[in-house]
């Protein structure tokens, strides 16, 4: 049966259809022919993990999570294998009193920043592009221009939900499986699929910047 005709039922009741796709990184080199699934919720992602790649015959070369594909190289692709595209896991919830946001892995930092600013909060680490996902930010443990003072993105993650290869969704915190939490932050997707995370925010006094321009020549 052609790959695109294999349809699996997702947790939402909607079918998850693995689709042949060619994916690249931001550098546009080394395209990979993959089977791409885009689960719409956690249960669908769990089924995708459990049923792929063993149900896909020749496509069974393992699986890797993918966010917005903004890695420069080939980190988010698996030639001849499966890409679990987290972009449809796109819900988030702001606790404006405690300064926390709980976001699903596919939410982009740009969406979060737009929602946080009116509430007086900002992400503690912001990279050179807003078009990266929460999952990609954690998996690559990204840095911003305030790296020396704030550390990396992962330093501000209180907890995360990780879907591992056995189909379990694990709640990871510093007090609950700290080793797996540490391996997942900066783990480049190799410990499983990050489903969601809780991130500590920084208060934002004002969205305005005070800028002093000094001309040197
Ligand atoms: C213009 C530009 C500017 C940049 N500036 C910076 C910068 O200032 N600082 C910096 O640190 N980086 C920077 N980056 C790099 C970028 O932040 C990282 O590559 C980031 O990981 C991309 O996120 P993504 O959602 O696109 O992830 P992808 O590229 O899709 O994936 C990156 C890695 O994360 C894994 N991954 C993605 N989603 C999940 C998930 N749900 N669960 C588990 N693993 C997952 C993938 O398997 C892969 O290994 C920049 C990139 C660009 C294009």
pTM, two decimal places: 0.93
Diameter of the chain measured on Cα atoms: 69
In sequence order, the 6+-apart residues with CB closer than 8 A to the CB of 148 are: none
174 token code pair: 């510093």
For residues 27, 33, 37, 42, the Cα torsion angle rounded to the nearest 10 degrees is: -50
Q: How many CA atoms lie within 13 A of 161 on its CB side?
A: 17
DSSP class of residue 192? -
Half-sphere exposure for 80 (CA within 13 Å, toward CB): 4
Are 76 and 190 contacting, i.e. CB atoms less than 8 angstroms apart? no
Q: Please name every residue paired with 29 in a beta bridge, in sequence order, or none if there are none.
A: none
The string of pLDDT tens digits covering residues 159-174 is 999 999 999 999 999 9
**What's the rounded Cα separation, in Å, for the pair 41 and 13?**
10
Which of ligand 1's atoms lies nearest the C-alpha of 188? 49
Mean predicted confidence (pLDDT) in 132-142 = 98
Q: Whose CA is nearest to atom 49 of ligand 1?
A: 188
Over residues 190-216, the pLDDT tens digits come to 999 999 999 999 999 998 989 999 999
Which atom of ligand 1 is nearest to 191's Cα? Answer: 43
Q: Calculate how far, in angstroms, residue 212's C-alpha sits from the geometric centre of ligand 1.
A: 32
Ligand 1 centroid–CA 1 distance in Å is 34
Residue 155 predicted with pLDDT over 80: yes
Predicted pLDDT at 4:
37
| pLDDT tens digits for range 86-98 | 999 999 999 999 9
């Amino acid at each position: 049966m052609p790959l695109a005709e294999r349809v699996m039922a997702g947790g939402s009741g909607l079918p998850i259809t693995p689709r042949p796709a060619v994916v690249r990184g931001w550098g546009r080199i080394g395209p990979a022919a993959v089977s791409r699934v885009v689960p719409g919720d956690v249960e669908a992602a769990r089924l995708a993990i459990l049923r792929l790649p063993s149900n896909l015959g020749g496509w069974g070369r393992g699986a890797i999570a993918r966010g917005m594909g903004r890695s420069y190289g080939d980190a988010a692709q698996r030639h001849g294998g499966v890409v679990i595209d987290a972009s449809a896991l796109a819900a988030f919830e702001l606790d404006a009193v405690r300064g926390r946001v709980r976001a699903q892995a596919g939410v982009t930092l740009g969406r979060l920043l737009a929602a946080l600013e009116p509430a007086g909060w900002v992400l503690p680490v912001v990279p050179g592009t807003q078009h990266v996902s929460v999952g990609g930010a954690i998996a690559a443990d990204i840095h911003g221009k305030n790296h020396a003072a704030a550390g990396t993105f992962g330093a501000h993650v209180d907890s995360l939900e990780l879907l591992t290869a056995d189909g379990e969704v694990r709640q990871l915190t510093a007090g609950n499986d700290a080793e797996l939490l540490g391996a997942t932050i900066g783990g480049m997707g190799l410990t499983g699929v990050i489903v969601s995370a809780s991130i500590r925010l920084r208060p934002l006094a004002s969205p305005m910047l005070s800028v002093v321009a000094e001309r040197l020549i």
